[in-house]
Amino acid sequence: DHGCWERPEDMDTLRTSYVLSPTKPGSELSAEIAAALAASSIAFTNTDKSYSQLLINRAMQVFDFANKYRGSYNTSVGAGACPFYCDYSGYMDELVWGAAWIYKATGNKFYQDFVKANIASLSGVFRFGWETKHAGIYVLSSQWAIADPSSFNNFIPNADNFICSLLPNSPTRSVTYSKGGLLFREGSSNLQHTTAYSFLTIVYARYIHNAKKTIACGNQVADSATLINLAKSQVDYILGNNPLGLSYMVGYGQKFPQKIHHRGSTLPSIAVQPNHIGCHDAKQYFETQNPNQNILVGALTGGPADNDSYEDSRYNVSQSEPTTYINAPFVGVLAYFTKPTITFT
């Protein structure tokens, strides 16, 4: 999909489908699907019980497939996934992630035991995103540990250590902050990390708030309000409270990115130009210094550099490309702040 700059309405390039099977497994993807189905079953529990049951039944079937036929889609799919979406962390984190969500949805001890038996293999990694699930597992499983410490005695330290890796004054901090206050982790499209960690921080803040628990990071003691304040500082920065006064959400505020790396936003709509625009016929639209013709309202770009600068250019993909894995966790963050339950400053 990186080979053509064209409108979705004009796409006539090959769109190959790939299938996982016992001989060509993909435990990362299968287990991730199982997690999504299980989480969705929880969402429908009180509104459509039969659909909720269908979802959780299928989640268990897909997890069984992922676990029984272990292997990476790096091998099974090959060039269909790599180099853009290779799995680098292995598939065990997705298997534990899938089991954790099914346990949350069902209370089935098999999945609890699976998490217990395999969570130790994930320790020391504090990442969460489309490819790595470690930090999400720590936070999700901490809810059970808070409710039943004797059964999950090593789960709370995992979540606490993750939070300590984020807090600005923590001696074990593993992220950096720009002078303007934005959280950074190495890699491209930094807002994927900022939004994902902000989401997990809010989730864990709610857990420890209900349990009247604090977190010790060396000499720093953090409570739920500390975590909420951190998440809010990231939201405020993203939406314009930063050295440039620039909102990184397209269409929000008076000043936002105008030349995002997005095909449909750049090219004229079919209402303006109904003629077909071929795969390699859009050079003029990509290279123009004019703003994009269509405002992709609500999209988050990759964000600024770690010195708080931002290049509003389609060529700077890391900074100007919007992605679903940046927007998705931010929806959860904003949902919380529409009706917060924890006092913050």
Position 71 in a domain: yes
Q: Could you tell me the two tokens for 156?
A: 């709370």
| Residues paired with 184 in a beta bridge | 176
Q: How many residues does the chain have?
A: 345
Domain that holds residue 49: 20-93
Closest CA to 186 of 174, 198, 199: 174
What SS3 class is residue 220?
Answer: strand
Position 292 in a domain: no
Q: Could you tell me the two tokens for 215?
A: 């977190």
Q: pTM score, two decimals?
A: 0.95
Position 182 in a domain: no
Average pLDDT per consecutive 10 residues, the chain (345 residues; last block may be shorter): 85 88 97 98 97 98 98 92 89 97 97 94 88 95 88 85 96 97 95 98 96 95 97 98 98 97 95 93 94 97 98 96 97 96 80
- Dihedral over alpha carbons 146, 148, 151, 153 (to 10 degrees): 30
What is the model's pLDDT at position 121?
Answer: 87
Count how many domains the chain has: 1
Position 65 in a domain: yes
What SS3 class is residue 26?
Answer: coil
Position 289 in a domain: no
Position 201 in a domain: no
Position 329 in a domain: no
What is the model's pLDDT at position 93?
Answer: 97
334 CB-contact burial (10 Å; exposed 0-12 / middle 13-18 / buried 19+): middle
Q: Could you tell me the two tokens for 235?
A: 């939201």
Position 29 in a domain: yes
What is the model's pLDDT at position 1?
Answer: 61
What is the model's pLDDT at position 5?
Answer: 92
What is the distance between the alpha carbons of residues 165 and 167, in angstroms, rounded to a whole number?
A: 6
Token look-up 């720590």 returns 138
What is the distance between the alpha carbons of residues 191 and 312, in angstroms, rounded to a whole number?
A: 15
Closest CA to 288 of 266, 273, 271: 266
What is the distance between the alpha carbons of residues 97 and 55, in angstroms, rounded to a whole number?
A: 16
Neighbours of 65 (CB within 10 A): 19
